[in-house]
Amino acid sequence: MAEPVPAPGEEGAAECAGRGWWGGGLRWSAEPVLLLCTLALGLEEPLCTQYLWHRLGEGGGAQNGTPPAAEAGAGCTNQSQGSGGAQEQELEALVARWNLYLNLSGFLVGLFAVTLLGPWSDSVGRRSALTLPALGMTLEAGIFLVVMYGQWPVGYLLVGRIVAGLSGDYNLVLAASFAYAADITTAPTRTFRVAVLEACLGLAGMAASLAGGPWLRAQGYVAPFWMVFGTSLAATAYAAFILHESVAQPQPAKLLTTRHYRAVARLYVGPARKKLVLFTLAFFFVVTVHFGTRGLLVLFELGSPLCWGPEMVGLGSAASYLTFLSSLAALRLLQKWMPEAWVAELGLLSNVSGLVVLSMAMTTTLMFTGYGLLFLSMTVTPILRAKLSRLVDETEQGALFSAVACVEGLCSLGATGVFTALYPATLPFMKGFPFLFGAILLLLPAAIIGWIQIQDSKPEYRHFTDVAEPSPGPTDSGSTVAENGSETSSTR
């Protein structure tokens, strides 16, 4: 099958993206940066939660980075498989609050950095927008190592989060990576390329989860955090010295100006504002539930009645990340048979059913059954990202994905605030209630996506969501987004 011809204005970006540094056919794309940064984050998040669990639970134990419970092999502080005493509940609430502090500190700083650096990359290029956050994550890991080596108070971890936030943090890595994908693809091929990027998240996260638990048990917290430092540094080096620029004609641009913030705001007052707002709202609910439930899984597994140790926590995290790969395969297959909107609806159904089972999981078998039911859950976000990307001009992809990154930051903040507050409040009567609450919330994006798809399929309702779709390339007329809002078979 012949390669799709780029739309007008895309030829330069597609050509330079495929050339590589040495003029050959190698494609030095953004996937390695995303893989390395996700690997670092996948190692860091559960390790940080478990470090807080043991450090706060043992009154500053964890000497030399070794978890006090490493020899016992259980997550429960009372070593009782199912008593779940008041002391354990108090510790769970304390760790949840510290997770809130860490997320909040990074979000408040990163919110301004992402909306500044994302639109800036539309002019200067994506390499800078990928190098800066990777460097910030490297410095954050270095600060975490200093805290662990020196047994400093856990409050110093906030310094690392603020440093990462100033550079845009992981959200800017996501924004720049997806904008990079939009630069080098045409509208019809964008959904699958975005899904490939999301699969990279799952692949790196699964590798981190499988390695993190056994490594923690064998060598404590310090050695895995050196891996976090090393992978972040490698991502920085790749973005700075190897990654080829995807913006066709980078131009110098002033960084500290309100023009970048106005570029983001203009997206939501343009002709595509109705669909942008609705799809962004759906994206908000989906990602909020993902962040909120994923952030509680380690705590849920460490406590009774599961009482998982580091290895089981790693296996559980790997199972959750495996949904990225299964969703990629399912998306590729289902796109041949139905519009993307209905694929997203199937993904939401998978997510709801999995969360309902997780909310009632009292055994390891039931816990992994819930993970299995989530096998389509990650088809939703790449579809929403691609639909949002098609609604704006090719020169506004950085601004769009920085806005999406801000929404993800708000999701992280909202999820941390709501779910971490809900978790200790509902422990006395239903430990898994936050998962059930997340399943209920997912009914809202299901309604939004279904409503848009139904209205777009009826010509008499087109005025509710009518927007200008991206113009096809010279030879793409058979593979563009259909006028009624659903894709033709050739786009999939």
CATH code where residue 45 lies: 1.20.1250.20
**Percent above pLDDT 90 for the chain:** 35
> Which of 213-227, 372-386, 420-434 shows the lowest per-residue confidence on average (mean pLDDT)?
213-227
Q: For 487, list phi and psi in degrees, rounded to 5.
A: -85, 145
- Residue 385 in any domain: the answer is yes
The answer to whether the predicted template modeling score (pTM) of the entire model surpasses 0.95 is no
Q: Residue 487's beta-bridge partner residues?
A: 481
Q: Look at residue 389 and tell me whether its pLDDT is greater than 80.
A: yes
Residue range of the domain that includes 222: 27-69+83-247+276-469
Does a structural domain hold residue 74? no
Tell me what pLDDT residue 59 has: 54
Report yes or no on 136 lying in a domain.
yes
Closest Cα to residue 431, out of 419, 440, 439? 419
Residue 305, in any domain of the structure: yes
- Identify whether 491 is part of a domain: no
- pLDDT for the residue 230: 95
Q: Is residue 211 a part of any domain in this protein?
A: yes
The CB-based long-range contact list for 441-447 (8 Å cut-off, 24+ gap) reads 441/285, 441/288, 441/289, 442/285, 442/286, 442/289, 442/348, 442/351, 442/352, 442/355, 443/352, 444/282, 444/285, 445/281, 445/282, 445/283, 445/285, 445/286, 445/348, 445/380, 446/345, 446/348, 446/349
More confident residue, 438 or 188: 438
Asked whether residue 139 is assigned to any structural domain, the reply reads yes
Rounding to the nearest 10 degrees, give the CA dihedral for residues 456, 459, 465, 469: 80
Percent of the chain with pLDDT over 70: 81
Mean pLDDT of the chain: 80
468 vs 238: CA distance, rounded Å: 37
Helices 31-57 & 190-219, crossing angle to 10 degrees? 40
Residue 301 pLDDT class (50, 70, 90 cuts): confident
**pLDDT for residue 20 is more than 70:** no
How confident is the model over 28-34, as a mean pLDDT? 87
Number of domains in the chain: 1
In a domain, 38, yes or no: yes
Kindly state the tokens that stand for 208: 């981190």
Contact 217, 237 (CB under 8 A): no
User: What is the model's pLDDT at position 63?
Assistant: 42
Mean pLDDT value of segment 209-214:
75
Name the more confident of 325 and 281. Answer: 281
413 and 107 Cβ atoms separated by less than 8 Å: yes
Q: How many CA atoms lie within 13 A of 119 on its CB side?
A: 21
CA atoms within 13 A on the CB side of 276: 23
